[in-house]
A and B are shown apart, each in its own frame.
Chain A
Amino acid sequence: MLETFVGRLALDRPGMVASGIMDETGASMARMLDSGAGAVVTKSIGLAPSPGHRNPTFTEVKGGFVNAMGLPNPGIDLFGEEMEIAVRKGKIVGSVFGKDPAEFSELAGRMEDYGACAVELNLSCPHAKGYGMEVGVDPALVKSIVAAAKSSVSVPVWAKLTPNTHILGEIASAVSDAGGDAIVAINTLKAMVISPEFAAPFLSNRFGGLSGPAVRSVGVRAVYDIRSAVDLPIVGVGGISDWRDAAQYIMAGACAFQVGSAIASKGVNVFEAINRDLEDFMRSFGYSSIRDMEGAAHE
């Protein structure tokens, strides 16, 4: 009942681990697959190893978390060892970040070589200079990045988009024009936390990204808008912690969803609970499949 398709990629369960959460090592990813996730999206990997930003990189706020990890990662060469462990356990989506189409193309190819079932392009991280959102809000650049990634792999290419723009529809169209296979939305909302006692920003990077329940309604709206703008499969992400949150994204137009922050608030077993409760809801309300529910809130 919960099986779904993101384009041509079949998933037994619709919930995936969002990029950046418990997905930097092979053993962590294997553990999340065991706990009921349909797939795990890796930490975003770049060409070279990077320690990311200095601590403080994370804090709780009302309604969620603000983080500025700054894309820490071991680099694509070393990440092969982690992928080798993880892909034996289930479906792994390789998330990559680059500064230009050539880097994205190279990284996407490497992820496919490692056995990723799809590649997710990080066009949306709000706290890394020269990467993520900084390349992901220019439709022309997005188009060339997606096209470059498409040319180097045969697995599906997903574009993870940022809500920190007023031209989300145009960016989604750019993904579609370039032959992208799916859109993932949303990444975190660019945010800031100030410590009044010290009259100073808390995060070492000053700016970070807001995640958790506070962003869910923004994400649901973004998915609804994207569904109206383009005819591509959508993976919904942002503030999902229970079946009701997941159902909102699906009814806005998503065929699958990702969970991040709730892994901290609800624990690694959050997927089991969502899967069970979503199935109960579908039974009581007469939905026979995820496909049946997809976009139900559109007229």
Chain B
Amino acid sequence: MSDFVKILGATRESHDTMTFEFRWDEKASPGQFVMVWVPGMEEVPMSLSRTNRIKSITVKAIGDDTRRLHELRLGDSLRVRGPYGRGFSLKKGVETLAIGGGAGTAAIMPAVKEIGADVIIGARTEADVIMDDLASKYSKNVWISTDDGSRGFRGNAVQLMREKAAEKSYGMVLACGPEVMLRGVLGACSELGLDCQLSMERHMKCGAGLCGCCVIDGQRVCKDGPVFTGEQAARMPEFGSKRRDEAGRLVGAR
């Protein structure tokens, strides 16, 4: 349901990314998201980067609305509704590798906390790496890839995942990040015979499974997802190639 929450903590994660904490008693599971709004901005979906009673969203300033969120200070009000969607299905005892790409790293943190999965954080450069300290609190193995090699592995998260999957046998791969990365994870997992769960993104309006504007091949990202299994993703011709714009037109994926 919808609520007004007060900001209890505002932490800078990187030059363009901040985490905002708030207390919200609504029960949420790793991988779920909320719709967030303050006056003057367009309401947007945000994955929860913490899912306990104290919850958080992690916001990368990429447009007017996310910049407006970055102006939030301690004690300011924020409207959240949700939590919505189907999150990650987690099993303790299954060797799990969680992969976060860019801002998508925030969405895998609650899952890492719950089952202590190994983690790959992919970023463009050293300056774009977020939440590696937090990941190290919950996980023994945290690996980083940067496109320019300024930190950790030089290359992308999918290439690093292939290396790690060759060294250790995983039963499950979780991923959230740019769609091109998710597509790469799906391809690598099907080649290697690994199960995976991918957290997807589309333009959303209602967030609650009604309006149908966020569908990928008839599946609602807001309600049937945002986390889909590899098998589901493999049956989506639009995944990785097409998306719907605000008017419902099928256009090329970003």
Chain A: residues with CB nearer than 8 A to chain B? 20-25, 27-28, 30-31, 43, 49-52, 54-60, 65, 67, 69, 72-75, 78, 81, 195, 197-198, 200, 202, 204, 260-261, 263-264, 267
**Is residue B67 within 8 Å, beta carbon to beta carbon, of the partner chain?**
no
- Given A27-B215, A28-B218, A54-B42: A73 touches B248 (CB 8 Å cut-off): yes
**Is residue B55 within 8 Å, beta carbon to beta carbon, of the partner chain?**
no
Whole-angstrom distance from the CB of B225 to the nearest CB of chain A?
A: 14
**Is residue B1 within 8 Å, beta carbon to beta carbon, of the partner chain?**
yes
**Is residue B27 within 8 Å, beta carbon to beta carbon, of the partner chain?**
no
Whole-angstrom distance from the CB of B86 to the nearest CB of chain A?
A: 12
Within the assembled complex, what's the spacing in Å between the Cα atoms of A19 and B223?
A: 19
What A residues does B74 contact at CB under 8 A?
none
A56 touches B37 (CB 8 A): yes
A58 touches B212 (CB 8 A): no
Whole-angstrom distance from the CB of A88 to the nearest CB of chain B?
A: 14
Interface residues on B, range: 35 or more
Within the assembled complex, what's the spacing in Å between the Cα atoms of A54 and B81?
A: 17
Whole-angstrom distance from the CB of B216 to the nearest CB of chain A?
A: 9
Q: Which one, B101-109, B124-132, B202-210, is touching chain A?
A: B202-210
Within the assembled complex, what's the spacing in Å between the Cα atoms of A21 and B2?
A: 21
A72 touches B249 (CB 8 A): no
Residue from B210, B245, B246 having most chain A Cβ neighbours under 10 A: B210
Within the assembled complex, what's the spacing in Å between the Cα atoms of A264 and B206?
A: 10
A59 touches B248 (CB 8 A): no
**Is residue B61 within 8 Å, beta carbon to beta carbon, of the partner chain?**
no
Whole-angstrom distance from the CB of A247 to the nearest CB of chain B?
A: 24
B215 touches A261 (CB 8 A): no
Count how many pairs of residues, one from A and one from B, have CB atoms less than 8 Å apart in the complex: 117
> Can you list 14 A-B contacts with CB-CB less than 8 angstroms, sorted by A residue number?
A22-B210, A24-B211, A24-B212, A51-B247, A52-B247, A54-B42, A56-B35, A69-B205, A78-B249, A195-B4, A198-B38, A263-B210, A264-B208, A267-B209
**Is residue B194 within 8 Å, beta carbon to beta carbon, of the partner chain?**
no
A contact face: mostly helix, strand, loop, or mixed: loop
A51 touches B246 (CB 8 A): yes
Chain A residue with minimal CB distance to B42?
Answer: A55
Q: CB within 8 A of B210: which of A27, A58, A81?
A: A58
B249 touches A74 (CB 8 A): yes
Chain B: residues with CB nearer than 8 A to chain A? 1-2, 4, 35, 37-39, 42-44, 77, 79, 81, 204-213, 215, 217-218, 220, 223, 244-250
Within the assembled complex, what's the spacing in Å between the Cα atoms of A31 and B220?
A: 11
A58 touches B245 (CB 8 A): no
Q: Which 10 A-B pairs have the closest CB atoms?
A: A27-B218, A51-B246, A55-B43, A58-B206, A56-B43, A22-B212, A49-B247, A74-B248, A24-B248, A197-B4
Q: CB within 8 A of A263: which of B39, B79, B204, B209?
A: B209
A49 touches B249 (CB 8 A): yes
Chain B residue with minimal CB distance to A23?
Answer: B212
Within the assembled complex, what's the spacing in Å between the Cα atoms of A60 and B77?
A: 19
Chain B residue with minimal CB distance to A58?
Answer: B206
B210 touches A50 (CB 8 A): no
What A residues does B2 contact at CB under 8 A?
59-60
Within the assembled complex, what's the spacing in Å between the Cα atoms of A88 and B132?
A: 50
Within the assembled complex, what's the spacing in Å between the Cα atoms of A59 and B207?
A: 9
- Given A51-B246, A69-B211: A25 touches B218 (CB 8 Å cut-off): yes
A25 touches B39 (CB 8 A): no
Q: CB within 8 A of B206: which of A43, A50, A54, A67?
A: A67
Within the assembled complex, what's the spacing in Å between the Cα atoms of A28 and B66?
A: 30
What B residues does A72 contact at CB under 8 A?
205, 213, 246-248
A27 touches B81 (CB 8 A): no
- Extra 8 A-B pairs, beta carbons < 8 Å, given A58-B210, A260-B210: A25-B248, A43-B212, A52-B247, A56-B35, A67-B210, A72-B205, A72-B213, A198-B77
